[in-house]
């Protein structure tokens, strides 16, 4: 669990984009939706963060509006998937693989489990939500963790 004043940082593969933020928790979830799997070449492991994120090298960030409700960001130099963001909000799903320190995270949630292909499963006990449950939670302004 993150403590007040704890800062997490990360970067893309080439280092052209760096970021930091102050987390409220040290948790990771995974999205199984078809868009995330295509974008990340597998399930997208991410840290849900509500609030500001500080970026260095922001001019190297490409943004793709992938749906009415969200956008995906990547490094324009090396292609690293950086985050999914809820349109018009400071709600980020930051790519867990980009964090400088990946210790002490709990794997707590899986979303869009109804789109997960049958060729993999995780042994961890997690909160699991279907796509319909995720969309209802977003509409109600609820945390997905």
Question: What are the pLDDT digits (tens) for 78-127?
Answer: 999 999 998 888 899 999 999 999 999 999 999 999 999 999 999 999 99
- pLDDT for 5 equals 52
Structure tokens at 29: 């979830």
Measure CA 129 to chain center: 16
**What is the DSSP code (8-state) at residue 69?**
S
139 vs 137: CA distance, rounded Å = 5
Q: Measuring CA to CA, which residue among 24, 26, 40 is closest to residue 99?
A: 26
> What pTM does this model have?
0.89
């Amino acid at each position: 669990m993150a403590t007040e004043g704890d800062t997490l940082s990360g970067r893309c593969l080439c280092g052209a984009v760096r970021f930091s933020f102050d987390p409220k928790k040290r948790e990771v979830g995974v999205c199984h939706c078809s868009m995330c799997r295509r974008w990340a070449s597998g399930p997208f492991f991410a840290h849900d963060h509500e609030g500001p994120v500080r970026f260095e090298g922001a001019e190297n960030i490409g943004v793709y509006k992938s749906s009415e409700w969200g956008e995906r960001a990547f490094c324009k130099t090396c292609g690293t998937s950086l985050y999914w963001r809820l349109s018009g909000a400071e709600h980020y799903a930051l790519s867990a693989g980009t964090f400088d320190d990946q210790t002490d995270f709990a794997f707590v949630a899986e979303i869009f489990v109804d789109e997960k292909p049958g060729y993999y499963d995780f042994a961890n006990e997690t909160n699991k939500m279907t796509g319909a449950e995720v969309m209802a939670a977003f509409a109600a302004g609820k945390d997905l963790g």
